[in-house]
Every structure is written in C-alpha cells, then in structure tokens.
Amino acid sequence: MAMSGGVDSSVAALLLKQKGSLVVCKYCYYCFIGYNVVGFYMNNWDAQEENSQYCNVNNDFNDVKWVCQHIGIQYKQVNLIRHYWNEVFSYFIDGTNNGVTPNPDIMCNQRIKFGIFHSLIINKYRMDAIATGHYAQLSTNEQGVRLMKSADHFKDQTYFLSTVSQSSLLNTLFPIGHLTKKEVKEIAIENGLHRIAKKKESMGLCFIGKRNNSNFMREYIDGEEGLMINILTGEIMGKHNGHQYYTIGQRSGLGDGNGPLFVINKDINNNTLFIGPSHLLYSREIVTSKPYWIRNITSKVLQARIRHQGELVQCRIEDYEYGLRVFLSQPIRAVTPGQYIVFYSGEECLGGACIKNGVMAESANDSHSTVNEEKQHVFVMRHGERLDSVDSTWLLNNRDRPYDTPLTGKGKVEAHQLSLKRYSDKNIVHVVSSPFTRCLQTAQEVCRATGVTGIVTRNILSEIMTRGANMIKTPSVPSESNISNYDINVIEFDTKPLPKYPETIDESIARYKAAIQEIADEYYPNNVVLVTHQYGVETSMLLDTGGNNAVYEASYCGNVELIREGRDGEWKYASKDRVYKYDNVF
C-alpha cells in the first residue's frame, strides 16, 4: 500500500485490511482470508539537504507509522530521492528552461509510482499488487484493464493517471475509487483516525510545498531579462525577468487600453514573450507528441480535457507525423505546450499525450470572430452569511482584521446548496473571487458544486473600501497564511493592489461595473461565477441597459445571472426576477 500520511491512502489501507471473509478451513474451525497489507512510504525529496521548512517528509512518515500501528499493519520506507530527481525534477527544470510548462504529477505517476516503485514492490518485496489512495476505478474485460473515473467527479484523478501502462494497472488497486471525499473522511473518523482526517490536504508538489511558486523556481532557474512584444502590433510593451517564470495564458501585468494582455507565445531563442488580448488564447486544434493509450482504441471521436478537472470537449483525432492532431468541437483557452491532453469515452479514461502546440485560426481576426459569436453566462454572487452577523465577539477578538470575517457554518451550507441548484448544470469553467475570506469560502463551495479545479482571486472584486465595512484602517489582502486554516484551494492570487482606501459609493459602483466587464472579457466565451460583496451584486443589476434601473437588495448568497450574445453583445438578465435569493431557490 503506497502511503503518504494523508487521509486518502490511510483509509485505502484500512479498507484493504478490513476486506476479507471467514471460511471453513481443514486445519482449524474458521480461517480469515483477506489482504496482507504492508504500508510503503516513498521518500522522494531530500528536504534535509535543501534545509526546507516547506516539505514535511519526516512529519508525513511519522503519520504513516502512526496509521499503520493503529490499524495493525507493517510499514516500510523506500528511498527514491535519486530516481525522483532524475525522472521528475530534472524533467521539470529542463522543460521549464526550454519554454514549456511540464506536468510533474503525470510524470511522477508514470515513471515513479507506477514505474520504479511499482517494479520494486512486485519484484523485490514480492508483493502481489500495489494499492494507492487515488480517486479512480478499474474495470476488466476481454481487452484488459480499463481506467474509469471515480465516484467523486470533483476529486477524480484519472487525468494524472492517463499515461500509466496497462501492465502496471493489471496488478493495481484503487480501494477508495468508489467513495467520495466526504465518505473517506467519515470512515477515517469512525475508525479512530481523527488526527489524519483533520490534517490539511496537500496541494501541489512536495518540492514546492507551501512556498510561492515563483520564489521556488528562482532557486533553481536563472531567468534573464527580455522583451514583451504585442503580438498584434509588434510594439515593445515592456520587459520580463525570465521567460521561464511565465506560462501561456498567464497575465502579463500589462494592458493596451482595451484590457489586460496575456502571454500568447514564447520565443526562447530570443528570450521574448509575445503578449496580446485573451481571445488570441483560444484554439480549436491541438498537435501532440506520441500518445499513451491504456488499451487499444477504435473510435476517432472522443472527449478530451487539457487540465485536471477542466471541461470535457468533444474532439476528433488523426494520426499526425509521430503524434496526433486533435480537432475540437469548441475552442479551448490557453492550450499550453508541455501540458497533457487526456482522452475519455464516457466514464473511461483512454490515455493522453503531451501537447506540442495549439493551432489558432489563420489570423487573429478569424480567431476573434470564431469565438466572438458564442453566448456567455456570468453569475455575480454575494458571499454567504458572515460570522460577525451572528457573533458580536468575533470583532472584539480580531481587531487586527475586523473587515475579514469568515462564514458561519450555515453560510457554507447555504453557499454549497445554492451552487448545486444554480450552477451544477451551467457548465461553469472559472470561479473568480474577491480576496476576502468570506468570499473565498463561498467560492470554494461553488467549486465543489461545479467541479471547477480552484479559485482565482481578483482584488478589483473586493469589499467597498469604507469605514462602514469595518475598515477602520487601510485593509490588506488576506495572505495564504490567513486562509491556511480554511479548506480553500486558490490556484492564482492576484498580485495587483487593493482598490484605494477610502472610496465613495459612486467610485465603488464604477469599480464593480468595470470588474464584471473585465473579468467576463478575460474568460470569454467560458461561463464564470464571480463571488463578491453586496454592492458588487447590486451593481451588476445596472448592466442590463434594456430594462429598468431598479436595484434590489442582494442578501447572503444572492446572485444575478447575466447573458450576452457574443463578446460585444449587450448584457441581459436571464430572469425578470433579477436577483436569485437563497430563499427563492429552496
């Protein structure tokens, strides 16, 4: 059993230990037949050599020992540091220096967990199979083993397992694939594993840990200053400090008067970034390297996604040189070389291929017009019930950040229930939030309900900057440490400053209107949920110029659905009721 010290692998080990049955035996009256489980901890990173305070190798191994002793199984530690450095970390550094965005998680599964480690367990330790805590399932038919999505589609990890070989899957078990994350935690608590169930879930790679990704990369990668050039005009817009620190689709930090500019392409030979408006990021065709197929496929019409928990898109594949050409039924944003496109047929994950490049339309204008005709839905939502509204002592106990109150338990529940009701069938692709904790908690519930990977923060969606919002002093953006006690997955923190303090009501209205338009344009034509504050939701009611200008109160979790036909289309409301309140939905 591959164990990490987390709740998923711990419960997987427990379930295997418990699995078995009493049978009549000729040597004794009864005999228990089940799995002989041994827990193996993989040490992949030399935290001591790096003197790292971010990678908790020793703490994780101590947790593995404690779990194994608690459930009554043996435990061992295997040292794979050299293999991990050579097979995964060097791949990550080399790819980044060569201008692509590698996917170490996929490579770790392919080369380490289901490669070197799998071989070690089967051949050296003479085990019959390995088991992991991945959220995935296996099915077997006459064609061999099939990799299937997990019961919990939000946690499903088949994307990261898409290049694991058929031979490795033949003697692999995924004991928790039929469970949801909530059920896994409940099983842990019911069996005395409270310590592990309450442990904060690990995000990202061990060698980065809780560090800022850019700061970590600068420790191992030397970037040089280069130019940022507008891909449409050829104009030099500014400078960057190293192409390695940017990926396709990332904000450049610059604008051209019509909105923000994004990284469209790289010229690593000349250390140049080409930047442009977001509509140039969309591709309808992808060229890949040689694909990894888990089993033989016959159909050329499949589904595909280019990132974990990303939207599944219909596609058609063709053999092309030594790889594939993938024709998409709809454009996908920020197709990034080095990342993987993974193919599905219904619930089955068929395999994947490394992306070489995305192919845009023949010209920028064609690309714009292709995408520009599509309908976009934007939901503007207020956060759930805030704690200081029911507990007056919170303000007294948090004088340093009185404006950054979290949600109540009721607020989290209502945010999740409303999101299930309103958004689960709306094909939401992005969740963008104000940086304040109550909004981030609300946004996390939206992600859970919609299957979106994580939250993007935009400071322009912040609370109104007045003393009336408990801002007795100039506020600061909640940092990663401020939200570390909450189960929140932020995948991109805004680096821009907060709006000026103090601001007038009219200034806040203008800010919110600009924010909704800017973020909608940034992610067009994808559907987006914006989680903000009361004035932000109420301001959104002013965008439908075709109706009356009545503004209704936006209560907790109140939300407005805006629709436009094309990028330049006028905003319309989806309903004459304007604001959907929690009480109206249930």
For residue 425, the Cα-to-chain-centroid distance in whole angstroms is: 19
Distance CA 565, CA 377 (A): 9
Helix and strand totals (H; E) in the chain: 18, 29
Query: Where do we find the tokens 């280069």?
Result: 226
Nearest to 442, CA basis, from 492, 516, 382, 482: 382
- Quote the pLDDT of residue 202: 61
Within the chain, all domains assigned CATH 2.40.30.10 are found at: 281-371
Angle at 557 between CA 556 and CA 561, to 5 degrees: 130
Distance CA 205, CA 196 (A): 19
Nearest to 212, CA basis, from 16, 54, 324: 54
Q: Which of 25, 28, 31, 206 is catalytic?
A: 206
DSSP states of 256-284 as a string?
A: -SSSEEEEEEEETTTTEEEEE-GGGGEEE
445 CB-side CA count, 13 A: 26
Check whether domain 2-197 has CATH 3.40.50.620, yes or no: yes
> 313: how many CB neighbours lie within 10 A of its CB?
18
Fold held by 373-585: Rossmann fold (3.40.50)
Write out pLDDT tens, residues 409-418. 999 999 999 9
Write the CATH number of the domain with boundaries 281-371.
2.40.30.10
Distances (CA, A) of 5 to 58, 238, 373, 489: 10, 46, 49, 20
Radius of gyration over every alpha carbon of the chain, rounded to an integer in angstroms: 25
DSSP states of 454-490 as a string?
A: -EEE-GGGPPP-SGGGT-SS------TTTTTTS---E
- Quote the pLDDT of residue 572: 86
For residue 35, the Cα-to-chain-centroid distance in whole angstroms is: 34
Residues in the chain: 586
Mean pLDDT split into 10-residue runs, the chain, 586 residues: 93 87 45 75 73 64 94 93 91 91 93 94 92 94 88 90 95 93 93 88 52 63 91 92 89 74 92 91 93 90 89 89 90 92 93 91 44 77 92 80 87 92 85 93 91 86 77 61 68 82 87 92 87 90 62 81 85 67 48
DSSP label of 386: B
- Quote the pLDDT of residue 297: 87
Q: Residue 579 pairs with which residues in a beta bridge?
A: 560
Distance CA 518, CA 388 (A): 31
Q: What share of the chain is helix, strand, coil (3-state, %, to 5)?
A: 30, 25, 40
- Quote the pLDDT of residue 24: 46
Q: Which residues contact 326 (CB under 8 A, 6 or more apart)?
A: 285, 286, 287, 288, 304, 315, 316, 317, 341
| Angle at which helices 7-18 and 57-71 cross, to 10° | 20
Q: Which long-range contacts (CB under 8 A, 24 or more apart) does 358-366 make?
A: 358/283, 358/285, 358/286, 358/287, 358/332, 359/283, 359/284, 359/285, 359/286, 359/287, 360/280, 360/282, 360/283, 361/284, 364/231, 364/232, 364/276, 364/280
174 CB-side CA count, 13 A: 25
Q: Is 28 considered catalytic here?
A: no
Residue type, 244: Q
Q: Is 55 considered catalytic here?
A: no
- Quote the pLDDT of residue 213: 54
Q: Is 34 helix (H, G, I), strand (E, B) or coil?
A: strand
Distance CA 212, CA 134 (A): 26
Nearest to 98, CA basis, from 247, 241, 240: 247
Q: Which of 55, 68, 108, 439 is catalytic?
A: 108
Distances (CA, A) of 548 to 22, 179, 331, 512: 73, 49, 35, 19
Nearest to 210, CA basis, from 59, 30, 432: 59
Pick the CATH number of 222-276 from 2.30.30.280, 2.40.110.10, 3.40.50.920, 1.10.760.10: 2.30.30.280
Within the chain, all domains assigned CATH 2.30.30.280 are found at: 222-276
- Quote the pLDDT of residue 498: 85
Task: Kindly tell me the burial class for residue 568, based on how many C-beta atoms sit within 10 Å of its own C-beta (0-12, 13-18, 19 or more).
Answer: exposed
Q: Which residues contact 510 (CB under 8 A, 6 or more apart)?
A: none
Within the chain, all domains assigned CATH 3.40.50.620 are found at: 2-197
